[in-house]
Structure 1
Amino acid sequence: MTTTQSLPHWNMDVVYPGLDSPEFAQGFARAIQEIEALAQLFDASQIEKRDDLNIDEQMIRTFETVIERYNAVLASTTTIYVYISCFVSTNSRDEVAQARASELGNALVTLSQLETRLTAWLGSLDVERLIAHSTVAHAHAYVLRRAKEQSVHMMSPAEEALAAELNASAGRAWSKLHSNMTSQLAVNIELDGRQQQVPMSVVRNQASSAQRETRHRAYEAELAAWKETGVPLAAALNSIKGEVNALARRRRWGSALDASLFANSIDRETLDAMMSAARASFPDFRRYMHAKARALQIPQLAWYDIFAPLGTTDRVWAFSEAEQFIVKQFGTFSERLSNFAARAFREGWIDAEPRPGKHDGAYCTPLRADESRVFTNYKANFDGVTTLAHELGHAYHNFNLGERTELQRSMPMTLAETASIFCETIVNQAALKKANREERIAILEASIQGACQVVVDISSRFLFEQNVFERRKQRELSVDELNEIMLQAQRDTYGDGLDQQTLHPYMWAVKGHYYSTELSYYNYPYMFGLLFGLGLYARYQLDPEAFKKGYDELLSSTGLADAATLASHFGIDLHSEAFWTASLDIVRRDIDTFCELIQPEG
């Protein structure tokens, strides 16, 4: 049986021997110097908003020099930032890592200000003429056109510079407060027959316990802990949403949502079509929740039953088994994908052990060139396997972006889930083929449960955030008000699928996604990612060989066009509710099968 002692930590030594090494000190100093040199280049080249700029040979040379240098600085800074962040996320008590992160943060303010200046300068140019006369510009055409559009929504240069400088002690500081508090939060709970203080991540992992009493105790302990931290976290949330509202207004966006849609490269028509299809699917997900309640032999699911396991529960997925299974099943799609996964395991890209000070959840982050790092809190069950496959999908996406410049690699969140959902689906479908009845129930339930989170729960998060943004225009919201807004959003989405007396009022405190000024409305892109990924998988099933020819190129191009343009290459119309409904039909079929496997009502 897998134990936490056998789970891997990622290998960061291939970048630098450690945060206290001379090599890191030199790399850190070099990154700071490169940012300072880039600022000097911007000053010398007058990279800022200007009038009547002509596209002549000198301007083209200036543009190409600036873009090439900017890309190089972004690449080196990203590596330093991710390297430090990997230490912080695995141990938020690491004071050296926290200090280096804070120190780098000051330099990142300068880089953010340079980004703003570059956008304003590009907005002053005839970008179409530039694209026609420069190979570098042509390669970055999408970036330039977006910059031209974004420049319309910019404050004055002085205001943008001030906003970037203040963000370090405003929005980013509140986000850091949330991250540090939640990762270090010790929760009192009875586990293994004795009272203990354990990290919040350990408590939340109890939600997947096979014992209902254990789940219930963890739920009560979790709510009690969030209640204790409610005041500072509410202050953080109020401050961040207030800042985003103010900046959206000053930048002449109709709302924070409008700014978010632009950032995610979709329009309101696409969002409305997707959300409409999602709402239409709520009865199907409630049907699934009712069937799960019957399987658990309870009248109705409580919040703490959402992640309760079903089917065979004695299968332990050792991490080594998960590795072998993923590598093999990825090979059913392509040798390239399989070899990539094998490399990620072999080269120590993955940190899987839950431990005190380590953040909760899972993510993947690009480190350098085609190399990433995968963060999980591995559980020795099939859910742990699918989470690992999902994050490796992100890493494969980064791998396909490896030869792109940093500006070309920048992609919207809506497209960031493309490979992760696809890879997760490969693993799920493979497991289902060889499963017996009990195992099929377990696998189907885990898959539907994940879809329910992304469609139903994220709909609730969207409603919550929309309501908070609107009400925050008038005043700050209290802890009780935030709780009630969250509860109402859960009632409107889960409906009678859950016991209305046992919802989760503090989900606004749990989810770090709310605590970002740069990524407001962090929720709906996950739904887009799931349904777009499922839609692509459906295309793959129709014509596997034709699909494979274009798939890696699609991943490589996600920073080169908007979502609608890229989708059209596979015959997908994102404005059509029918596309989103068809993706949800894949989940509906799984729900039908699940309900058939569960003993019928009565």
Structure 2
Amino acid sequence: MMTQTKYKTVWNLDSIFKGGSASPNLHDHMKRTEAKILELEEMVKEWTAALESDQLVDVLERLRDIKMSISQARSYAICLLSENPKDQGAQFYRGESTALQSKYDSINSDLKRKLAHTEESEWMNLIASEDLKEYRFTLQEWRDEADREPSQEVSDLMADGYHAWGQFYQSFMSSIKVQVKGQDFSVGQAINLRSHHDASIRKESHEALVEKWTGLEGQFAQILNHLAGFRLNMYKSVGIEDVLHVPLAQNRMKEETLNAMFSVMERYKEPFAQYLNVKADMNGDAKMKSYHFWSPMNHHHQGMEYGEAAALVEEQFLAFGTEMGQFAETAFREGWVEAENRPGKSAVPICAAFPLTGESRVFLTFPGTFKGVLTLVHELGHAFHNHAMKSVNGMNKSYPMSLAETASTFAEMIILEAAMEKAETEEEKLFILDEKLKRSVMNFMNLHARFIFEKNFHEERKKGFVPASRLNELMEAALEEGYAGSLDEVPIHSWVWTPHFYKTESPFYNFPYTFGYLLALNLFVRAKEMGKGFEEQYMNLLRDSGRMSAEELVMKHLGEDITEEAFWEKGMALCVEDSEEFVRLAAYLHKEET
């Protein structure tokens, strides 16, 4: 068995900017970036004549460089804050990078408005230019979305208003301590206890968190209301009434696609409710208690050291394809992963991209469980997506959340499939099926509940402030509907500790996970059919993910129409099979025991 000595559990950030938040290189980098922004801002403002293709290429190249420079600094600050949320220097640079991003967005908005006001004939000639070939999708998207761009005044307010509230949430959450069995835990560590093998610890952790949220719910209600209020007013200022308009546009997805996916999902609640009922019965409960959902099956594979996990990931990524295998080796050996289980870290696993150096960093608190392995590969899947796009023009690297979750889920499937193939007993198979079905339940039930809550909350927020007591009611109702009544002791404070509700960059960061999950399942079926030859097709799909719509991407690389329910039925069928097999195996093992 591999040991942790071969794999470092603490990442290397000095290769990005040496010296942490006191880095002179980081300081100089920020100053250079700011100077580039000011220069470009003047250039765009002075434009009055018709745009020429060479001028536009120059501006786009400058925007690309600035975008990548901001991303490099912001990712570094986020990494520093993940490992130490109290790092004041990192807090400063995150704020500075947010301010630079707002200035960048303002310049971008000016450019979008100029493109929108370009005469159609002039625009067609411009877009047809060979010089702009690789920018065509982005330029057309900018022209189309110009009408929903916030004004200059609103953009200026976002750094210290809208985004600041989102950042305050992260800092506030990272400062919270929870006591379980007389020991202090960060929120991230306490949440990880949901998968502890001891049921009493799972319950005590749950109750400690509930007590904490009950005491703090008023403060979190203020944060959530301010975020949603700002967002709704921003939408109103540009004539947007439907709160799904922006998230659908951000995901480059048609409403027909979302409706087709949800329609399939809503029809298949019963198999997953049955899985929850069977597992609850195995625990001696009539219904699945929320704090037992992540409980591991009674099997020795529930524990795994980090070194063993890293070796498993390297082995299975290489089995999928040479490129993915080499990527995993680089990530582990070059210190791209921060996994140490220690107090004081952020609660949220992340993958941070560093486009200027073509690297990523993955952050998590590795709990020594198989669930932790899946969290690790989920974030490494994001990192591999970044790796696949290294050769892509910087302006075409911005892929939507739905496709980001495709890569992360695909990586999980590689590990789950390998574990299932290696299973030697029925107990092992049940254990792996349980892990797979947890992900199905999260995507088809939990995320559906989040979607329902967020949609209903925004509708109520239009009428005024929504107090914590009402947020609890909305969350409870959403969870009841999302889980089809199959969950007991419903976690009504999910709206507090679910970070996705507080992401200013991505409202409705829920359905993209389900999209990515089902798309990944379709991709995985093809991978099994084609073997290692699929890796090239997979990487081509990832490379195109920043320069076409979701519908166009899937049609080009898979030949499928995702506005039709038939596409989503294929991935769902695999999950239903898992549920049926789990129920069968559970009954068989119960019969063997008696």
Shorter-chain TM-score: which interval? Answer: over 0.9
Q: Mind listing any 5+ residue stretches in structure 1 that lack a counterpart?
A: 47-52
Question: Aligned partners of 2:129, 2:192: CA distance in 1, in Å?
Answer: 56
C-alpha change, 1:281 and 1:510, in structure 2 (3 Å) is: same
C-alpha change, 1:226 and 1:301, in structure 2 (3 Å) is: same
Letter in 1 for 2:267: A
The reply to whether residue 428 of structure 1 matches residue 413 of structure 2 is: no
Which residue of structure 2 aligns with residue 14 of structure 1?
A: 15
Query: Any idea what SS the aligned residue of 1:438 has?
Result: helix
C-alpha change, 1:280 and 1:319, in structure 2 (3 Å) is: same
Q: In the alignment, is the contact (CA less than 8 A) between 1:45 and 1:62 conserved in 2?
A: no
Match of 2:576 among 588, 594, 598: 588
Which residue of structure 2 aligns with residue 519 of structure 1?
A: 506
Shift of 1:357: 3.1
Match of 1:138 among 133, 136, 143: 133
Question: Aligned partners of 1:422, 1:199: CA distance in 2, in Å?
Answer: 29
The 5 A counterparts of 1:96-495 are: 96-125=89-118, 126-135=122-131, 137-154=132-149, 160-189=151-180, 191=181, 195-313=182-300, 315-369=302-356, 370-435=358-423, 436-495=425-484
Q: Deviations over 1:33-63 (max 9, x none)?
A: 22222223223445xxxxxx645xxx11211
Q: In the alignment, is the contact (CA less than 8 A) between 2:7 and 2:333 conserved in 1?
A: no
Letter in 2 for 1:371: E
Letter in 1 for 2:390: G
Which residue of structure 2 aligns with residue 49 of structure 1?
A: none
Question: Aligned partners of 1:22, 1:90: CA distance in 2, in Å?
Answer: 20
Q: In the alignment, is the contact (CA less than 8 A) between 2:480 and 2:486 conserved in 1?
A: no
Q: Deviations over 1:115-148 (max 9, x none)?
A: 211221222234432121242x210111011111
CA RMSD of superposed structures (Å): 2.0
Q: Deviations over 1:244-294 (max 9, x none)?
A: 112222222231111211111011110011011111121111011012112
Shift of 1:318: 1.5
Q: Deviations over 1:332-375 (max 9, x none)?
A: 22111101110111111011123333211322121124311111
Shift of 1:459: 0.2
Shift of 1:489: 0.5
Which residue of structure 1 aligns with residue 529 of structure 2?
A: 542
Match of 2:32 among 14, 23, 30: 30
- Identity percentage of aligned residues: 29
Q: In the alignment, is the contact (CA less than 8 A) between 2:4 and 2:308 conserved in 1?
A: no
Q: Deviations over 1:305-337 (max 9, x none)?
A: 111111314653211111111111112221111
Query: Any idea what SS the aligned residue of 2:269 has?
Result: helix
Question: Aligned partners of 2:42, 2:531: CA distance in 1, in Å?
Answer: 51
Query: Any idea what SS the aligned residue of 1:365 has?
Result: strand
Q: In the alignment, is the contact (CA less than 8 A) between 2:80 and 2:87 conserved in 1?
A: yes
Mean Cα displacement is larger for which, 352-361 or 242-251?
352-361
Shift of 1:5: 13
Mean Cα displacement is larger for which, 338-347 or 314-323?
314-323
Question: Aligned partners of 2:559, 2:85: CA distance in 1, in Å?
Answer: 45
Query: Any idea what SS the aligned residue of 1:504 has?
Result: coil
Question: Aligned partners of 2:354, 2:410: CA distance in 1, in Å?
Answer: 22
Question: Aligned partners of 1:171, 1:453: CA distance in 2, in Å?
Answer: 29
C-alpha change, 1:280 and 1:235, in structure 2 (3 Å) is: same
Return the TM-score normalized by structure 2. Answer: 0.94
C-alpha change, 1:368 and 1:219, in structure 2 (3 Å) is: same
Letter in 2 for 1:162: E
The 5 A counterparts of 1:560-579 are: 560-569=547-556, 570-579=558-567
Count of matched residue pairs: 582
Letter in 2 for 1:431: A
C-alpha change, 1:265 and 1:315, in structure 2 (3 Å) is: closer
Letter in 2 for 1:15: I
Which residue of structure 2 aligns with residue 504 of structure 1?
A: 491
Query: Any idea what SS the aligned residue of 2:470 has?
Result: helix
Question: Aligned partners of 1:373, 1:546: CA distance in 2, in Å?
Answer: 28
Q: In the alignment, is the contact (CA less than 8 A) between 1:418 and 1:533 conserved in 2?
A: yes
Question: Aligned partners of 2:111, 2:363: CA distance in 1, in Å?
Answer: 33
Shift of 1:518: 2.8
Q: In the alignment, is the contact (CA less than 8 A) between 1:311 and 1:441 conserved in 2?
A: no
Return the TM-score normalized by structure 1. Answer: 0.93
Q: In the alignment, is the contact (CA less than 8 A) between 1:264 and 1:412 conserved in 2?
A: yes
Question: Aligned partners of 1:314, 1:516: CA distance in 2, in Å?
Answer: 35
Letter in 2 for 1:595: V
Query: Any idea what SS the aligned residue of 2:148 has?
Result: coil
Question: Aligned partners of 1:142, 1:224: CA distance in 2, in Å?
Answer: 50
Q: In the alignment, is the contact (CA less than 8 A) between 2:112 and 2:143 conserved in 1?
A: yes
Letter in 1 for 2:225: N
Shift of 1:451: 1.8
